[in-house]
Amino acid sequence: MRILGIDPGSRITGYGIITKEGNRLLHVDNGAIFTDSSRDFPVRLQKIYGGLTEIIERYRPDAVAVENIFFSTNVQSALKLGQARGAAIVAGVNAGLPVFEYTALQVKQAVVGHGRAAKEQVQKMLKVLLNLPEIAQEDASDALAVAVCHAHSAAMNALRGKHK
């Protein structure tokens, strides 16, 4: 199973692609889509959607996993982040893929073993789990973590018939 993990953001959207073969997790690619904060917001959303659509066409994942962001210190930031998440979700749905959402707590639990792990712990564990030559860029690393979370959760989700 090939999984596209997405860490949505209005300025930087990270992506990570892994393949699960039996109990093995294999790194395929990772990176980030950068938007120009001086551009109109709808144009930035279009860039996120278009970039993810190209990645989906190139790598043909079987599923998309998106981090479900939960924070609201700034209402405007939360709204923009929600819209970036929407662009990511629509890219997956328009490609006919099942889309799964995971909280940061679930992602950390799946990668490190406990939900209160520091970002650095998650990045180091990903380096080991996926045999990466170096720690991935922060947003790409977060996206890889979401993909790993889905790889560990996919069997349970299938039993429940759970996807959005």
Catalytic residues, by residue number, are: 7, 67, 139
Question: Rounded to an integer, what distance in angstroms lies between the CA atom of residue 132 and that of residue 26?
Answer: 9
Evaluate whether 88 touches 5 at the Cβ level (below 8 Å): no
| Torsional class of 113: left (φ above 0), alpha (ψ -120 to 50), beta (otherwise) | left
Among 33, 60, 59, which Cα is nearest to 45's? 33
Residue 3: count other Cβ atoms within 10 Å of its Cβ.
27
Amino acid at 127: K
Number of H helices and E strands in the chain, helices first, is 5, 5
Among 6, 27, 11, 48, which Cα is nearest to 142's? 6
Evaluate whether 60 touches 28 at the Cβ level (below 8 Å): no
